[in-house]
Structure 1
Amino acid sequence: MSSSGHGHTPAAWTGVIISFIGFCVSGAFIVLANVPGFWAGIVLIGLGAVVGGLMRAAGLGQEPKRSAKPRPQAQAQPQEG
């Protein structure tokens, strides 16, 4: 089993599902030659990204990765003069 979650979070799943529905709606309406329906699907795709981002901001997403290496401390440079 992997040590990382691979993004399997409620925020990721919700965003992907909404976007997938948007892709399906857009695809169906482009075949039916219905331009407003196509754009409604495109709006759903964007809505999926917004909802996923808001859910991540609310704490339902994956934690940001932290570097395993400690950051080097900034050292003072000697002044010449």
Structure 2
Amino acid sequence: MAHDHGHTPAAWTGSIIAFVGFCVAGAFMVMANVPGFWAGMAIIAIGGLVGGAMRLAGMGQAKRPQRQTVSANS
């Protein structure tokens, strides 16, 4: 079970930027504007990059230590 899954500044920022990109791409798709659609797709990619960069900068979820499993053959 995930602990505090997605409740970080990096996750929120990346998700909000990607959401704006989806809205932009969807609006321009309805208006049949191809360059606007691709601009929205670029915004979605930027959201992923910003979220990833923020995670690398320490604003994401801290990594938990891995649990060790006990082997039956030990």
Q: 2:18 matched to 1:11?
A: no
> Using the alignment, how far apart are the partners of 1:68 and 1:21 within structure 2?
38
Q: Which residue of 1 aligns with 2:33?
A: 34
Which structure shows the higher helix fraction? 2
Q: Give me the identity figure in percent.
A: 59
TM-score (norm 2): 0.86
Moved more, 61-70 or 30-39: 61-70
What residue ranges of structure 1 are gaps of 5+ in the alignment? 73-81
Q: Which residue of 2 aligns with 1:51?
A: 50
Moved over 4 A (4+): none
Once the two structures are TM-superposed, the CA of residue 51 in structure 1 deviates from its matched residue by 0.1
Q: Which residue of 2 aligns with 1:76?
A: none
